[in-house]
Chain A
């Protein structure tokens, strides 16, 4: 199912892949970063092998023995709630001869038995069963043949990350200023959970294009016209438009923060939500003010955030909250997985609004995401024209960056370049 047969790819340039000239307000990225197999292979090692990567949310494995299986950074892993309640993440490969020991996407289990020769492991990874153990001599230490945990696992307020790099800095330090934005989302949602129903789709485009797109305010008006028409048809007043700022948050993370015309289940009412929910949203808001003070509460309630946690986690805290990761499959294909985060206890009509917003805007069956997919695939195909060699990412360099500028993408690219050059 390739779009392009044997694509001719742009060779990496003699000079740097990412070029910045602050004095001239110019920032450009060589297109081989999106098409070259060598660069792709390097990325798996230097970016995905050396960053903190999102695995999943703790609410997905609430009870002991609950597990989810998913590839992270192109490696098969699974996350399981261990016997003392801690979160374990293992490489999904039997220590005997390699088979995957966890063969379901999710479930609950006390043991993971490898079907091949029936070695079995408990939820802490210990090898607890070997058929015909007496066939082995004394030299083999079975206690050393437990499942291999990934090098590092840390959780920040329910968001579980792993790193394949044992020497990486701690997660909180890595999150840098993104922590504050994550806190805003989490504090506003309180007891949050990933609700059931996963969006699993793919885009025939380089993964970095989705990192850019997820924090790109510039494309909204032109690309998502039909979505805004839909909101208008429902009675949302779109006159106010979108105003806000874009910020680099350190370590490649970035955020757009903006006021927008739509309502937010936490906690900005609009007519679309219906009179019945007005009181409830008012109450949510009063709650936030009491707990967090006026200023922070208003940020939580009124402003939207598109947060990119480098390299491949996006949290859109807009009319609903997405948690979205994307994994590269090749230079021109990525697999996207998106979940919806919501407060556990939520009034049914607010949950309904949140679900509606998610699926109409953020979901692959909605009125916007398919057009993003089209845009990204269109870029990827355009790269193969081999005309222009560089993408221009200079927007807003000569002013205080706004939400429809590109400072947030430059932050991503600077970090990416830094890591790829090996001095990260």
Chain B
């Protein structure tokens, strides 16, 4: 694992569709982009996955019982900025993330993709997800709704923020959120 691209976005390999500007982005573009993210996560290519995020990104998962939870005020499950996201990837790439070594097999399934009208330079996108996680003899599934805010940066879509609101009433069935949703 080398220097993640959040530090040097110019070296990022181009993943996802090329887009001229936000106004021209189609749902097809967005779907392809989200499927690319899902594929990178399922392939555990987390270094490349990081390049899909902006330098000022945010990745948030509120607690199950407070879907509207505000990470500045309420306890949430995950609240990563670019640095913490990079640390998360470093952790998951190491053999000492015991919960994910060996890695789970995952299947990120993204559906019901809706592209909302652009707000300034950001494109709100909403989608449903089911993330299957298989490890040992155990299979569990996370399900909920993604809220993305995308930006066009040098002709590529980037994720400025991703919020995963879990639909499951608790984490009891899945134990934890040791994988990236």
* B124 interface hit (Cβ, 8 Å): no
Whether A374 contacts B77 by the Cβ 8 Å rule is: no
Interface presence of A74 (CB below 8 A): no
Name the distance in Å between B81's Cβ and chain A's nearest Cβ. Answer: 10
Residues of chain B lying within 8 A (CB to CB) of residue A355: 71-72, 74-76, 79
CB contacts (< 8 Å) of B76 on chain A: these are 197, 355, 359
Closest to B66 in A: A197
**A351 at interface by CB-CB < 8 Å:** yes
Count A interface residues, CB 8 Å.
43
Residue from B96, B139, B170 in contact with A201 in the complex, judged by beta carbons closer than 8 Å: B170
When distances are taken between beta carbons in the complex, the residues of chain B under 8 Å from A365 are 61, 77-78, 176-178
Contact residues in A for B72 (Cβ distance below 8 Å): 348, 351-352, 355
Q: How far is the CA of A195 from the CA of B170 in the complex (A)?
A: 17
Task: Check A201–B138 contact: CB distance below 8 A.
Answer: no
Instruction: Tell me the chain B residues, 136-181 only, with Cβ under 8 Å from chain A.
Output: 136-140, 170-178
When the two chains form their complex, are residues B65 and A105 in contact, meaning their CB atoms are under 8 A apart? yes
- Among B5-13, B34-42, B45-53, B83-91, the one that faces the other chain is B83-91
A304 to B178, CA, bound (A): 26
Cα–Cα distance between A348 and B79 once the two chains are bound (Å): 16
Q: A374 CA to B178 CA in the complex, in Å?
A: 10
Q: From B64, B77, B100, B173, name the one whose CB has the most chain A CB atoms within 10 angstroms.
A: B77
B99 proximal to A (CB < 8 A): yes
Q: How far is the CA of A199 from the CA of B177 in the complex (A)?
A: 11
From A1, A202, A352, A370, B99 is in contact (CB under 8 Å) with A370
- Enumerate chain A residues within 8 angstroms of B78, measured Cβ to Cβ: 359, 363, 365-366
CB atoms of A3 and B138 under 8 A apart = yes
Say if the beta carbon of A233 comes within 8 Å of chain B: yes
Task: Assess whether A226 is in contact with B94, with CB atoms less than 8 Å apart.
Answer: yes
Residues of A near B71 (CB, < 8 A) are 355
A306 to chain B, nearest CB (A): 19
- CB neighbours (8 Å) of B77 from chain A are 199, 359, 363-365
Is B27 among interface residues, defined by CB-CB distance under 8 A? no
* A199–B171 touching, CB < 8 Å: yes
- Partner pick for B171 among A197, A200, A230, CB 8 A cutoff: A200
Having A204-B175, A356-B79, A363-B77, one finds 9 other A-B pairs with CB under 8 Å, namely: A195-B74, A201-B175, A233-B90, A234-B83, A352-B72, A355-B76, A355-B79, A367-B87, A375-B98
Nearest 7 CB-CB pairs, A to B?
A197-B75, A370-B99, A200-B170, A365-B77, A365-B177, A370-B178, A197-B63
- Chain B interfacial positions (CB closer than 8 Å to A): 61-66, 69, 71-79, 83-84, 87-88, 90-91, 94, 96-100, 136-140, 170-178
Please list 15 pairs of residues, one from A and one from B, whose beta carbons are closer than 8 Å in the complex, sorted by A's number.
A105-B65, A195-B75, A196-B73, A196-B74, A197-B75, A203-B175, A226-B91, A234-B83, A339-B75, A355-B71, A355-B75, A355-B76, A359-B76, A365-B77, A371-B98
